């Protein structure tokens, strides 16, 4: 049986292709490891990097391996093109409705920071809107045939405590509608209105769209890599190194924003992830951030995302630290512990949801925390 750990190591090597400090020596994949590696490349959406490595003579493959890789990559790019066409249509609808929007991740990063956009795969679309436009944007997506997967726990929860809502179209196209960059305390500390002041234009299909400017795009890449998933995914980790090395990042500004939004520990963690997992170099100007000693409290909050605490309600519980006032904290707890019935039905998939079961989960989280 192929060693999954070995396949994971090789996938990380592919994810670091072309970056400063990466291993440039040609290498080949043993036949017994190839199926596991190919599955990992597709799941991590880094087939484009593998194809680029093969074209450069860095990744040496047999003809059958090359054919299988190209087939997987072709499927990934066809879906990416489908999403880009959908994005252009959505942008026109949002403009017609007077809703400001910013494209996050995906095509914005692929077309702005990578040597070739085919290097950076993506499987959905992420759009940021202002909190004041949140309701109108949700209604617009519903009018366009996108169904929200999970309703908010109680009316008003999204604008006060939420991060995003996933909307899915009949063709499987998924739109993550954001009002901030991440769920939990770090998302609440970010100023979402300021994000709209820090955007630039990028071109897609001859049309002009907006994305986060390079410095804020770097911070968002760090947020996504460190806080988005646990264990972290390779594409967000690659984005950190890619934007850091290829983007016009103002490192003084990045440090200032990270300080104001309490993201210093997140940026430090993301840079270390990129260096250790991909085996690449961190730009010299970023070394000062890596060398900064994080505050104990922020380190503890990071663990709520980037450790097993995440599976034990760590993110939900840690959010209380960022909500000002006892009344705000009480409202947050009330809406999560006593959500609307529609939320429980969608969350549990049961027509007869049980509040008692939800309370047991909350009590178990508290027990784990202690």
pLDDT in tens, 111-122: 999 999 999 999
Top-confidence residue, 95 or 2: 95
**Taking all residues of the chain, what is their mean pLDDT, rounded to a whole number?**
91
**Model confidence at 359, in pLDDT bands (50, 70, 90)?**
low
Residue 211 has pLDDT above 60, yes or no: yes
pLDDT in tens, 44-81: 999 999 999 999 999 999 999 999 999 999 999 999 99
Let me know: does 222 contact 271? Beta carbons within 8 Å: yes
Let me know: does 45 contact 76? Beta carbons within 8 Å: yes
Average pLDDT over residues 270-275: 95
Class of domain 87-306: alpha beta
Q: Say if residue 276 is exposed, middle or buried (CB neighbours under 10 Å; 0-12, 13-18, 19+).
A: exposed
What pLDDT score does 246 carry? 95
Measured distance between the N- and C-terminal CA atoms of the chain, rounded to whole angstroms: 41
- Spell out the domain ranges in the chain: 87-306, 313-370
Highest mean pLDDT (candidates 17-21, 301-305, 306-310, 342-346)? 17-21
Residue 252 has pLDDT above 80, yes or no: yes
What pLDDT score does 3 carry? 59
What's the chain's Rg over C-alpha atoms?
21
What pLDDT score does 1 carry? 44
What pLDDT score does 131 carry? 96
- Sign, CA dihedral 31-35-37-41, equals positive
- What's the CA gap between 86 and 19, in Å, rounded? 31
What pLDDT score does 343 carry? 87
Please enumerate in sequence order all residues whose Cβ is within 8 A of that of 157, keeping only pairs 6 or more positions apart, or say none: 335
């Amino acid at each position: 049986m192929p060693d999954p750990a070995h396949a994971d190591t090789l996938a990380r090597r592919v994810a670091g292709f072309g970056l400063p400090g990466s291993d440039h020596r040609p290498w080949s994949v043993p036949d017994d490891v190839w199926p596991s590696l190919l599955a990992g490349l597709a799941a991590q959406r880094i087939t484009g990097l593998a194809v680029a490595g093969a074209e450069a003579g860095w990744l040496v493959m047999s003809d059958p391996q090359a054919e299988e890789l190209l087939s997987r990559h072709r499927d990934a790019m066809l879906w990416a093109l489908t999403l880009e066409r959908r994005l252009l249509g959505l942008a026109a609808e949002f403009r017609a409705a007077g809703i400001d929007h910013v494209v996050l991740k995906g095509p914005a990063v692929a077309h702005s920071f990578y040597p070739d956009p085919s290097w950076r795969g993506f499987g959905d679309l992420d759009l940021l809107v202002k909190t004041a436009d949140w309701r109108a944007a949700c209604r617009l997506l519903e009018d366009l045939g996108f169904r929200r997967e999970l309703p908010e726990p109680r009316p008003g929860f999204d604008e006060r405590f939420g991060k995003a809502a996933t909307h899915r179209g009949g063709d499987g196209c998924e739109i993550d509608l954001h009002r901030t960059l991440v769920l939990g305390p770090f998302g609440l500390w970010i100023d979402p209105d300021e994000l709209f002041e820090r955007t630039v234009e990028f071109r897609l299909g001859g049309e002009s769209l907006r994305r986060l400017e390079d410095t804020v795009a770097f911070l968002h890449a760090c947020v996504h890599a460190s806080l988005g998933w646990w264990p972290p995914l390779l594409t967000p980790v690659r984005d950190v190194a890619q934007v850091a090395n290829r983007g016009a990042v103002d490192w003084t500004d990045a440090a200032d924003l990270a300080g104001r939004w309490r993201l210093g520990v997140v940026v430090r963690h993301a840079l270390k992830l990129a260096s250790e997992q991909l085996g690449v170099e961190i730009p010299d100007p970023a070394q000062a951030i890596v060398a900064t000693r994080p505050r104990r409290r922020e380190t503890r909050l990071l663990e709520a995302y980037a450790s097993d605490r995440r599976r034990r309600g760590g993110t939900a519980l840690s959010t209380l630290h960022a909500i000002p006032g006892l009344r705000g904290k009480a409202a947050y707890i009330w809406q999560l512990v006593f959500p609307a019935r529609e939320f429980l039905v969608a969350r549990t998939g049961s027509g007869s949801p049980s509040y008692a079961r939800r309370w047991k989960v909350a009590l178990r989280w508290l027990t784990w925390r202690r």
